[in-house]
Amino acid sequence: MPSASANYRNLLRTSGAAAFFLPAAAGRLGIAMTGIGIVWLVHARTGSYATAGLVTGGFAVADAVAGPQIGRLVDRFGQARVLPCALGAHAGAVALLLTGGAPDLVAGVLVGATLPQLGALSAARWSALLSGERAAALPTAFALEALANGLSYMAGPALVSVLGAAGRPGAGVLLAAALVVGGGLALAVQRRTAPPLVGHAERRHAGRALLRSAFLRQLALGLTLGVFFGAMQVSVTAYAVGRGTPDAAALLYLASNCTNLVGGWAYGAWRHGGSPRRHQAAAATCLTVACLPLTVLDAPLAVGVTLALTGLAVPVLLILTSVLTESSVPRAVLTQAFTWGNSASAAGIAGAAAVAGRVVDAGGAHGGFGVAAGAAVVMTVLALSGPRDSPPGVPSQEILRSRGRRPAG
């Protein structure tokens, strides 16, 4: 598909695009390494997986809670001023964790609370760079972000595990911090592509957009997508272990992850037409139809093929959630909106893992797959319940007003 590659090449050739996207992608790899790196480090230090899980859980909760607050500061003061402070604090927290200068749980919470969500900052830059007539390229930009995220969460944990298995658990945490701090600082110095700041009055008015139905619907979709992820993680593992072939779990995850990357790449390469809301509803419906058979299928090949089909729809939903979040809030709160979406997804993953675990204990892996299918049904209902939206790349009337522009007509 020459045109597909051309879409991505043209996007990265946009003035300033590659200069902020590549450092943010490097930092995102570090973020993907941090959680599993803490598991390896704390387990090596204490010999307890329970303690390692507790510290990692503290890290994840702190990241989910503090992320939107850092995003709020970025929207108010700008990436160039907030990022160096956050990254300096993050480096200090990692140093405490590595040296044992504070209890592991305290240090883990500090690491999470100071971790800037570089993906949200990169997405906000794409929104500023591709404004106006170039807004039609936003789905491709967010597809590129999804691809970077997918590759990071495939390569990052594997790299940390290799270092941990080689007897260097601290090296994984140190490398993760170096990537986050280095990538974040490289992003901070790119002032030309940073989203412009707005006045206090506009910020105060814009904050109300985070309570409007258009944004809350996307937040709910992100939460439900997190529930889907969390339930699938538990259910796939339970399915493989239940058949006496625990190693098969890695192959099943690989099938889903590979098609996930393909689905995201293909959607970003496609020249989009029609309504993003309709695309979102179609993707959610396809995900529901694809994952319902998992509640009854038992043959490994059939389960693997079905998981691969679900993997095609998931990245499209992630991309469109970003697109519709971008069009549902004013620029004055855009970074905060993106970080709230990330936090909602993380909360869904954590909650669903616990719920699906109980369901699997009671009814086996098929019950866990039922939780994932239920989440897909809820996503479909949410996507279908939205109002008609503007053409691609055209903000709604409400958002035009909140950005201080007169709606057409």
Residue span of the structural domain in which 129 resides: 17-195
Assess if residue 3 is contained within a domain.
Answer: no
Same domain assignment for residues 357 and 267: yes
Radius of gyration of the chain (CA): 21
Predicted confidence at residue 247, as pLDDT, reads: 77
Predicted confidence at residue 198, as pLDDT, reads: 76
Assess if residue 309 is contained within a domain.
Answer: yes
Q: Model confidence over 242-275: pLDDT tens digits?
A: 888 887 888 888 888 899 999 999 988 876 677 8
The yes-or-no verdict on residue 404 having pLDDT over 60 is: no
Same domain assignment for residues 222 and 348: yes
Segment among 100-104, 253-257, 294-298 with least mean pLDDT: 253-257
Q: 169-188 and 138-165 helices cross at what angle (nearest 10)?
A: 150
Assess if residue 202 is contained within a domain.
Answer: no
What three-state secondary structure class fits 394? coil
The yes-or-no verdict on residue 203 having pLDDT over 70 is: no
Predicted confidence at residue 283, as pLDDT, reads: 94
Same domain assignment for residues 26 and 126: yes
Give the span between the Cα atoms of 369 and 239, in whole angstroms: 9
For residue 205, report the phi and psi dihedrals to the nearest 5 degrees. -70, -40
Assess if residue 6 is contained within a domain.
Answer: no
The yes-or-no verdict on residue 407 having pLDDT over 70 is: no
Assess if residue 244 is contained within a domain.
Answer: yes
What three-state secondary structure class fits 72? helix
Overall domain count for the chain: 2
Give the span between the Cα atoms of 11 and 34, in whole angstroms: 29
Question: Alpha carbon of 279 to those of 199, 285, 390: distances in Å?
Answer: 35, 10, 13
| Residues 6 or more apart in contact with residue 307 via CB below 8 angstroms | 232, 236, 252, 255, 256, 294
Predicted confidence at residue 391, as pLDDT, reads: 43
Tell me the mean pLDDT in the region 108-116.
95
Where does a domain end: 195, 223, 255? 195
The yes-or-no verdict on residue 397 having pLDDT over 60 is: no
Predicted confidence at residue 8, as pLDDT, reads: 87
Assess if residue 8 is contained within a domain.
Answer: no
Question: Alpha carbon of 318 to those of 143, 218, 271, 279, 321: distances in Å?
Answer: 8, 10, 18, 12, 5
For residue 189, the 8-state DSSP code is T
Please tell me whether the overall predicted TM-score, pTM, comes out greater than 0.75 for this model. yes
What CATH number did the domain enclosing 309 receive?
A: 1.20.1250.20
Segment among 100-109, 205-214, 366-375 with least mean pLDDT: 205-214
Tell me the mean pLDDT in the region 92-107.
94
Predicted confidence at residue 408, as pLDDT, reads: 34
Q: Model confidence over 34-92: pLDDT tens digits?
A: 998 998 999 999 988 888 888 988 999 999 999 999 999 999 999 999 999 999 999 99
3-state helix, strand, coil in the chain (%, to 5): 85, 0, 15
Assess if residue 53 is contained within a domain.
Answer: yes
Q: Model confidence over 127-183: pLDDT tens digits?
A: 999 987 788 889 999 999 999 998 998 888 889 988 988 889 899 999 999 999 999
Where does a domain end: 163, 195, 227? 195
Q: Where are the alpha helices (DSSP H) in 292-333?
A: 300-328
Where does a domain end: 195, 228, 253? 195
**What's the chain's average pLDDT?**
87
Same domain assignment for residues 187 and 40: yes
- More confident call, 44 vs 5: 44
